[in-house]
Structure 1
Amino acid sequence: MSFKPSTSLLNLHPSLKGVAELLQVQLTRFNCGSMVVGFTSHAADGHSMSNFLVAWGQACRGLEISPIPSHDRAIFLPRDPSSFEFEHEGVEFMSETLRKEYPIVNDINDVVVHKVHFTLEFLGKLKAKASSMNGGNKPYSTFESLVAHLWRAITKARSLNNFETTHVRISVNGRMRLNPGVPNEYFGNLVLWAFPSTKVKDLLLEPLPYVAKLIHDAITKVNNNYFKSFIDFANCKVEAENLIPTADMNKSVLCPNLEVDSWLRFPFYDLDFGGGCPYIFMPSYFPTEGMMFLLPSSFIGDGSIDAFIPLFPDNLASFNQICYSD
């Protein structure tokens, strides 16, 4: 089978649409003896689902599940009195009357899901360049450096208006950010978003460290205070004011914006049903223009990263010309 993004991947997992079940699994066995495990879920965040898969493998091998999942929802109780320190309407929630119509991709072939491989050597140089102007502070992470680079490269390939505003939606795990901290074995959804934003002209004309700092600062702001403000707002305002989640909007085009889902720290390659770890773990074919997935390139842990990037075909050639430029 092809390990590149392809519509054929849609045959290897259950349907994504019109499904009420929290979790679906499809096993596809090949004559050569190999097997694909395809799953779809809307039960929890990526951290929880990766722990679930590892635990499933432990159970299949007759082992005790470790760590035991935690289901304590007390962290979602609002404070007394509640305090809304940050703006959440227009970020995580919005009024039903403000729901917008977004461009729809009618043909799945209107978007190309492009897979890009970044070596450890390239990532090291990128990280050094991104951190070259942060005044001796701790270097930016590989994730922050790579997202800064891809944000610039994709924006340039899109040929956007210089005065247009663009942002990246980045998932932020709250387990280690809340005080007191939430154990890693917490099972559920404990993710909020960071939204680094800037004008296109600044994104392209300023050096890479400028963009890396935008990303780093936006992620840093999603801290304990922000999570607790969100919890208070969700408990006290959403139902009373008939607000709806912005995440429920069914977009197929994100331009001029991006979304990045990082699976770099998830222990997917610890999954073992009894025959060893997976040969490859990858997202399905998900042709939402601008929605990126970042994954470790392989189970050998060589530090390289694969990026799955959906683009319009007209932007692909330009992106390929600049994606390996540091």
Structure 2
Amino acid sequence: MNSSALVKHISECFIKPQYEVEEANKPVYLAPMDLVMLSVHYIQKGLLFTKPPSNSDDQISFSTPEFLESLKESLSHTLVYFYPLAGQLATQVDEARQESLVFVDCNKGPGARLVHATIDMTVSDILTPRHVPAVVQSFFDHDRAVNHDGHHMSLLTIQVTELLDGVFIGCSMNHALGDGTSYWNFWNVWSEIHMAKNRTDLVIPSSHLPIHNRWFPDGHDAPILLPFTRHDQFVSRYEAPPLAERIFHFSPESMSRLKSKANKDHQKIYTDSKRMISSFQALSALCWRSIIRAIRLPDDQVTNCRLAANNRHRLDPPLPENYFGNCINAITTTTTVSELHEHSLGWAASMLHQSVANHTNKALQDFLKRWLKSPFVYQIHQLFDSNSVMMGSSPRFDMYGNEFGLGKPVAVRSGYAHKFTGKVTSYQGYEGGGSVDLEICLPPHAMEALESDEEFMGAVSLPLTGY
């Protein structure tokens, strides 16, 4: 393994929608759940592919220039549907009222950025080490950028990093424009367009086409103003501590066993309950208990488990899944370290289950009413703490269906964004079927303790990849 290899940037260009989009001439006003994201990081996720084998008949090898040109063409087509990603943020300040309006100017800036880079490493160099190599973070643009930087940076960058025997496609998208559901819908549509033989006549299913009409609470139409006149009043920078990062795999069978165990424990405690704990709630409970043990906190320490929740179906009336924007927040469950350790997996899972059940339309509307009375912007260092666990992303997102003519990806990896003690990012498992991969970030000493935790490692499966 070439552990000292560095990413070399070869070229870059900017991509605009293939043709002018009439709607792009209007500003896109950000909704409350978008504006709260202005000081957090871009979303950074990427897919690792092996290069296709040479054709045995004519020995035609993978052509990087042809692949890049094909990506540029398909990205230009895709931006017709996702046109806000080709613009930049803009702000209008009202000094007299001490307010500012932040919005997307779809025609500002040069467009989405596409970077070609290389590195003297193999796919095995990325996948074989026990911990994710730090160099993977260099496979993404917008390192350490916050969403407010979209005033002068691209709102979307695709970085194509060519390995000796593979290709990594890293996508950095401004989180003020969309959440994970929006992000992976962009990937899915882009891949579908890229794979189409005739892109001109391609018809994208209406269920996949993004809906750009932002949702605002009743009685609060666009635009929403922020009570700030300077960005330093609401923008801060976050620097992660030294962290070890590892991918843990949970097979469909392991997920089923966790669900069964959590429900049996739960029924022993709540004999009259008919609620069913989901497999992901059981997995989250396992992570919460195991990570808190590994961090070794005092018994009286308060600890939280936060679950990133898609609110589209929780609103009344619900929003469609292809709503492009942010419609998420974190469902928080709280207890003490001693309570978490003294009780069973099912007890912790049932607490998470109840928190999810309580996360209703009324709870969301109450949150938005409070925010509209006193708007604020999330700060990463305040949003999460080192005494808790945050379960981000979702194994429900279609990640491995994005092929780009390279075959099925062999792995999903992420960049620097939103890495902190106790951060857990959930991915689809390679084999599907309900399998889950968890990317866990912990200080090195805590990671070592987690890797020796009998309950946790007893549920971890041998990884299955396409490599």
> Common fold, TM-score beyond 0.5?
yes
Determine whether 1:222 maps to 2:359.
yes
Q: Secondary structure at the match of 2:408?
A: coil
Determine whether 1:68 maps to 2:216.
no
CA distance in 2, matches of 1:248, 1:122: 36
Amino acid corresponding to residue 247 of structure 2 in structure 1: K
CA distance in 2, matches of 1:102, 1:11: 19
Match of 1:141 among 249, 271, 278: 278
Amino acid corresponding to residue 57 of structure 1 in structure 2: S
**8 Å CA contact retained: 2:308, 2:392:** yes
**Residue of structure 2 equivalent to 1:51:** 185
CA distance in 2, matches of 1:277, 1:124: 25
Match of 1:78 among 194, 218, 222: 218
Match of 2:261 among 129, 139, 142: 129
CA RMSD, aligned part only?
A: 2.5
**Residue of structure 2 equivalent to 1:113:** 245
CA distance in 2, matches of 1:181, 1:252: 27
Per-residue deviation, residues 180-239 of structure 1 (Å, max 9, x unmatched): 11111111100022100001100000111110011111122111111222233333x12x
User: For residues 147-226 of structure 1, what are the structure 2 equivalents within 5 Å?
Assistant: 147-226=284-363
User: For residues 231-310 of structure 1, what are the structure 2 equivalents within 5 Å?
Assistant: 231-235=368-372, 237-238=373-374, 243-245=375-377, 247-250=378-381, 254-285=385-416, 287-298=419-430, 300-310=431-441
Relative distance call for 1:209 and 1:69 in structure 2 (3 A) is same
Amino acid corresponding to residue 72 of structure 1 in structure 2: N
**For this pair of structures, how many residues does the alignment match?**
295
CA distance in 1, matches of 2:384, 2:451: 20
Match of 2:159 among 5, 26, 40: 26
- Once the 2 structures are TM-superposed, how far is the Cα of residue 58 of structure 1 from its aligned partner? 2.0
Q: Secondary structure at the match of 1:160?
A: coil
CA distance in 2, matches of 1:214, 1:266: 25
- Once the 2 structures are TM-superposed, how far is the Cα of residue 141 of structure 1 from its aligned partner? 0.9
Amino acid corresponding to residue 171 of structure 2 in structure 1: F
Give the fraction of aligned pairs with identical amino acids, expressed as a percent: 24
**8 Å CA contact retained: 2:136, 2:415:** yes
Q: Secondary structure at the match of 2:172?
A: strand
Per-residue deviation, residues 235-287 of structure 1 (Å, max 9, x unmatched): 3x12xxxx423x32346983211111132000122223233332222223554
Amino acid corresponding to residue 10 of structure 1 in structure 2: Q
**8 Å CA contact retained: 1:78, 1:231:** no
Q: Secondary structure at the match of 1:226?
A: helix
CA distance in 1, matches of 2:420, 2:219: 37
CA distance in 1, matches of 2:340, 2:283: 14
**Residue of structure 1 equivalent to 2:8:** none
TM-score (normalizing by structure 2): 0.59
**8 Å CA contact retained: 1:113, 1:285:** no
Q: Which has the higher contact order (CA 8 A, sep 6+)?
A: 1
**8 Å CA contact retained: 2:185, 2:322:** yes
Determine whether 1:6 maps to 2:133.
yes
**Residue of structure 2 equivalent to 1:39:** 171
Determine whether 1:324 maps to 2:463.
no
**Residue of structure 2 equivalent to 1:83:** none
Relative distance call for 1:279 and 1:102 in structure 2 (3 A) is closer
Amino acid corresponding to residue 277 of structure 2 in structure 1: Y
CA distance in 1, matches of 2:449, 2:137: 28
Amino acid corresponding to residue 209 of structure 2 in structure 1: I
Relative distance call for 1:185 and 1:256 in structure 2 (3 A) is same
Per-residue deviation, residues 107-159 of structure 1 (Å, max 9, x unmatched): xxx31112222222222221111111244624211110001011001111111
**8 Å CA contact retained: 1:7, 1:285:** no
Relative distance call for 1:210 and 1:103 in structure 2 (3 A) is farther
CA distance in 1, matches of 2:314, 2:381: 29
Determine whether 1:16 maps to 2:143.
yes
CA distance in 2, matches of 1:252, 1:320: 27
